[in-house]
Amino acid sequence: MPLHIVLLAPQLTQPSSASLEEEWTTATALADKHSRTLLSIDCSEHPTHCEIQPSMTFPSIFLLQANKPPVKYLGPLLSKSLNNFLSRSTRLQPTPLTQVDDLAKFKTSDETVFILFLPRPQEFVTSVYEDLAQKYKNEFTFGTVVGVDKLLEKERVDLELKGVLVVYKPLDGETEKLDLTTVNSGVDEIEKFIKESSRLTITDLSPWNHPRLLELQKPLVYLFAPTPSARDNLRSQYLRFAKDYHQQFVSILVDPHLFPDLMPQLGLLDTTRFPAGAVRLVAEDKIYPYPQTEEMTLGRVQGWGMRIWQGGVEAWVPGGGEKKGGDSGKKEGGGDSGIRIQGKVGTKRKVTVGGGGWGKGKGKIPTIPGVRINIPGVRRDEL
């Protein structure tokens, strides 16, 4: 069955369209190598061809298949992401795997790959997994290994266990596992694992994943840059820091052309100045835009972030109203940061670490250059 991805847009003559045109050209060349088709239509010349859905906005990208409704692409506007999306559309979701070579290739076939390993067939678990694979098939790749001992042994799956769900993230070089023996209700816990474990160390923001990232109730760190190369530079610059604090907050790269209203919504009022950044404490409903008059280096951002946790930075309020200050004893980090601030702004502040917080499961807090934090019960701590 032929597959086509179609870009619907006015002529790509605006400055903001330059990166999209470059990514589309790269994606088209890669798709041609695999006998796939990417087409672009100038809606200013062919308006009738662009009426795929009511209330269309442009540019829009759709997957078109014979005898199937069109699927709107809501991922990052990157060549690799477009081709990964097209590849997913050609796969059976989930894909049964029986050979060692097939398994090895499959694990690196996408940015995020889930594989369900079952020592023996289990109708309920398989049914739940298949439903979730269909729900998230546009974003991730799903596979299954059922009763194939050589593959189970290669992945070190205990044949006595109920089974295990593994996510492979080649870009991060990491895997995470959900032991199905510990799963009680099934559907909710498996879906929660898919939502949380699919998050990369630094995630490219898209209309698909933004609502899901907000649902995590963790602090969100937004990094804005107008071109793919500039965002790659930010990724390299912040990768180690984001990896150290992956469980405490969510690091996000944002294409401002894909989210044109997001910078002003986060208090970044100069939409021409890059790089730009902001922190959103979802659980606290607070926003902290990084000062656009200051150079945005890793060291400066780390220091500014620590001042937020200390309560020394006031939250931004839309419309220029009074800023929100930190409350005594308030949990500043939101989500599962486990950090609580005691005292008032301007006084010496004491940091305590609560359950499930910094260093959970490791017995330590990741270091922040230039800042010493001691753990209560180990040595007396003041910041």
221 lies in the same domain as 286: yes
Domain boundary among 45, 64, 89: 89
Sorted by sequence, the CB contacts under 8 Å of residue 299 that are 6+ apart come out as: 369
Q: H-helix or E-strand containing 221? A: strand 220-224
Quote the DSSP letter at residue 315: B
192 lies in the same domain as 207: no
Q: H-helix or E-strand containing 203? A: strand 202-204
Low-confidence spans in the chain with pLDDT less than 70: 1-3, 10-17, 54-56, 184-186, 320-383
144 lies in the same domain as 163: yes
Sorted by sequence, the CB contacts under 8 Å of residue 207 that are 6+ apart come out as: 74, 258
152 close to 98: Cβ distance less than 8 angstroms: no
74 lies in the same domain as 114: no
292 lies in the same domain as 246: yes
221 close to 252: Cβ distance less than 8 angstroms: yes
Separation between Cα atoms, residue 136 and residue 85, nearest integer Å: 11
210 lies in the same domain as 235: yes
Angle at CA of residue 314, ends 310 and 320, nearest 5°: 170
Work out the burial of residue 369: count CB atoms within 10 Å of its CB; fewer than 13 is exposed, 13-18 middle, 19 or more buried. Answer: exposed
Domain of residue 8, residue span? 3-89
Q: According to the model, what pLDDT value does residue 217 have?
A: 94
Is position 302 within any domain? yes
Q: According to the model, what pLDDT value does residue 320 have?
A: 61
Q: According to the model, what pLDDT value does residue 21 have?
A: 85
> How many domains are contained in the chain?
3
Q: According to the model, what pLDDT value does residue 341 have?
A: 30
243 lies in the same domain as 180: no
**Could you tell me the CATH number of the domain that includes residue 299?**
3.40.30.10
Is position 189 within any domain? yes
Q: H-helix or E-strand containing 305? A: helix 298-310
Q: According to the model, what pLDDT value does residue 318 have?
A: 84
Is position 235 within any domain? yes
Q: According to the model, what pLDDT value does residue 49 have?
A: 79
Q: According to the model, what pLDDT value does residue 302 have?
A: 93
Q: According to the model, what pLDDT value does residue 184 have?
A: 67
Q: According to the model, what pLDDT value does residue 325 have?
A: 53
Q: H-helix or E-strand containing 23? A: helix 18-33
268 lies in the same domain as 315: yes
What would the pLDDT profile of 324-344 be if each residue is shown by its tens digit? 554 433 333 333 333 333 333
Q: In 10 A of CB 167, how many CB atoms?
A: 20
The structure's pTM equals 0.79
Domain boundary among 197, 220, 251: 197
Domain boundary among 49, 71, 89: 89
What would the pLDDT profile of 58-87 be if each residue is shown by its tens digit? 788 999 888 888 899 999 999 999 999 999
DSSP string, 264-296: HHTT---TT-SSEEEEEETTTTEEEEPPTTS--
Q: Distances from the Cα of 25 to the Cαs of 4, 78, 231, 315, in angstroms?
A: 15, 10, 19, 42
29 lies in the same domain as 137: no
Quote the DSSP letter at residue 316: P
Q: How many CA atoms lie within 13 Å of 349's alpha carbon, on the beta-carbon side? A: 25
Separation between Cα atoms, residue 223 and residue 75, nearest integer Å: 17
